[in-house]
Structure 1
Amino acid sequence: MVDTARRDTEREGVEGGIGRTALLVAASRAIETHRHDSLARDPYAEHFVRAAPASADWPVRIHEVPDGDANPLWGRFARYFGLRTRVLDDHLLRSVHTGALRQVVLLGAGLDARAFRLDWPPGCVIFEIDRQGVLDFKHGVLDGLSATPRATRVPVPIDLRADWVGALTDAGFDRTAPTVWLAEGLLFYLPITAERYLIDTVDRLSPRGSTLAYEVKLEKDLLAYRDSPLYTSTERQIGIDLLHLFDGGPRPDSAGDLEGRGWSTSVHTPFDFTHRHGRGPLPEPNDALEGNRWVFADKTRP
């Protein structure tokens, strides 16, 4: 548990707004971890959930949910986050185990514990970029567990709206080294200008051989799904109005932009991986996941 001295920082970090969605993902990972057919395991996730007053009474096992998997939030939506965790875990490990990539940057790292739970090869450096309050809360929980990272972990406490490139460079980032970039659940919240800047910056900092994975939404009108069970149950059960947090402006074609800059890209629906792994969400009417896409890119040209 985090101590009393951290409470104000904790609220600044994960107690409200976008920061609170990190607790939602952590609770989902905890539920996934304890499933008999788990797609991904994160032994730290439930500790994050229990340490924050906002989520202390949220379920961390599916049997704690009265209607179990029939619950849109803790059943289907949590399984979505479990599937996403597995797919992105696989991407990161494939990138570092099949090539010479040893530098990893987690953009908007949140309560990501990959530095502690994945099997990294020797020499890997994991940079975690997020706001000071989020990282302070995270450190408080992990320190209390005496958790030890399995790679060199470098927290970079800065808001992505500030000069994160300068902060990342000051933290030891090597601009000449191929890099694995991950933006998990981040671009939903950014306006079009910020997304374009992020993609442009990642390209500028990435020599040939770098990889990037990120998640986007393709809907032109998010409000068309305002009555989706995923959105309504998330707001009703835990007070997170995702539609209020998401940026409602038009989305750029970031995958197409990367293609024009020398990257090869592949774009998938989450349902593609549900079929691949044999479990996960499937399409349904009025589906808030319909426009979600997972994009994987490799820089093939300088």
Structure 2
Amino acid sequence: MSETSTTGDPRHPAGDPSVFLVPAEGDTPTAATRRTGAEGVDEGVGLTALLVAAARAIETHRHDSLAQDVYAEHFVRAAPACADWPVCIQQVPDGDDNPLWGRFARYFGLRTRVLDDFVRRSVGTGARQVVLLGAGLDTRAFRLDLPSDCVVFEVDRSGVLAFKERVLTDLAADPKSKRVPVPVDLRADWVTALTSVGFDPAAPSVWLAEGLLFYLPGPAETYLIDTVDRLTTVGSALAFEAKLEKDLLAYRDSPVYTATREQIGIDLLDLFDRGPRPDSVGDLAARGWSTSMHTPFDFTRLQGRGPLPEPNDALEGNRWVFAHKPRS
């Protein structure tokens, strides 16, 4: 698949969410279905939400925790596919030496903290709408002390949100700010779904695409970034995660990917899109956004905890991008 904007590809006219249905180059239909996450929370991309929940649970129980998510372990225990996964590092035989539940889980804990701080700062400058794209098992509406007039929109497939709702209802969990689930597949008309439940494009907003874009074909990422730009006004902010490796398969034997395949049966490289990636940072900058891009290791050094570079490192190409639409 060529690295083009949706506006330049006659198969994907501007504003057409069907770009999310296009398989990556070399995909079989089965692989494309696994990658785009058409299944429930116990399969495909949906299962990675439980992986992140387990990592957040482990982080929560650490004495030097960077982020607290008391709901995370309940998601893990409620799903048959991961009922035997660890929820604290003491349940891992080799502890922090385990590349999955040690180093990789610590990565997710660090990412959670960094994006928590991003949301807090962005809301602190006046934004009162938070949009979580591919929200998964995110509980920021429950965990963060956001202003009472802040609204958190959780955009994800109905099956994922229904599972999440069942667990939170059983816990009698109350959000700290207004929470609006938006049950829609990102391959469908999620813009209409979002605006129909109260999202106001004329008011400043904060957007997170946490652990989402590398599952999407390049044109789908371009469509998403274009759409966020169209739905935001000055004073808005966006954070997302990207991968810059030219050849993902070069890292197939890295400890993180190997452990994830062997210990819990998730082949991340089979789920990631392997086509060329667009320059979303450049696209945002061309539209007037201020942008910054960092490695996770930058924040490890800042926080004093988290992963550091290793040989044959599956995290080497990961970048965390922060963008703001200046007021003037």
State the TM-score bracket (shorter-chain normalisation): over 0.9
- Letter of the 2:137 counterpart: L
What is the rounded CA distance, in whole Å, between the counterparts of 1:301 and 1:31 in structure 2? 39
Aligned to 2:276: 250
Give runs of aligned pairs for residues 1-302 of structure 1, distance below 5 A.
Answer: 12-97=39-124, 99-300=125-326
Preserved contact between residue 262 and residue 301 of structure 1 (Cα < 8 Å): no
Which residue does the alignment assign to 1:5?
none
- How many aligned residue pairs are there? 291
| Conserved 8 A contact 1:110-1:130 | yes
Q: CA deviation at 1:86?
A: 0.2
* CA-CA distance at 1:263 after TM superposition: 0.1
Deviations 1:167-222 (A, max 9, x none): 00111110110110000000010000100000000000010110000000001110
Q: Which residue identity lines up with residue 89 of structure 1 in the other structure?
A: D
Q: Please, which runs of 5 or more residues in structure 2 have no aligned partner?
A: 1-37
Q: Deviations over 1:214-264 (max 9, x none)?
A: 000001110000000000100100000000000000111100100000100
Query: Does the aligned pair in 2 maintain the 1:263–1:301 contact within 8 Å?
Result: no
Aligned counterparts of 1:205 and 1:132: Cα–Cα separation in 2: 23
The gaps in structure 1 that reach 5 residues or longer are 1-10
The SS at the match of 2:162 is: helix
Query: Deviation digits for residues 112-138 of structure 1, max 9, x if unmatched?
Result: 011001110121000000000000000
1:13–1:137 Cα contact (<8 Å) kept = no
Percent pairwise identity? 76
Q: What RMSD over aligned residues (CA atoms) do the two structures have, in Å? A: 1.0
> What amino acid maps onto 1:135 in structure 2?
L
Question: Partners of 1:59 and 1:129 in 2: how far apart?
Answer: 28
Q: Which has the higher contact order (CA 8 A, sep 6+)?
A: 2
Deviation at 1:100, TM superposition (A): 1.4
Once the two structures are TM-superposed, the CA of residue 58 in structure 1 deviates from its matched residue by 0.1
Moved more, 270-279 or 12-21: 12-21
Code of the aligned partner of 2:270: H
Partners of 1:283 and 1:301 in 2: how far apart? Answer: 37
C-alpha separation between the residues in 2 aligned to 1:267 and 1:301? 21
Question: Does the 8 A contact of 1:228 with 1:287 survive in 2?
Answer: yes
| Greater mean alpha carbon deviation, residues 292-301 or residues 210-219 | 292-301
CA distance in 2, matches of 1:270, 1:295: 10
Query: How many Å separate the matches in 2 of 1:205 and 1:227?
Result: 40
CA shift, 1:300, in A, is 1.6
Whole-Å Cα distance in 2 between the matches of residues 175 and 35 of structure 1? 39
Which AA in structure 1 matches 2:201? R
- What is the distance in 1 between the residues matched to 2:260 and 2:273? 17
Structure 1: how far apart are the matches of 2:198 and 2:235? 19
Contact 1:30 1:42 in 2 (8 A): yes
TM-score, length of structure 1 as denominator length: 0.95
Structure 1 residue 13 displacement after superposition: 2.3
Shift of 1:12: 4.2
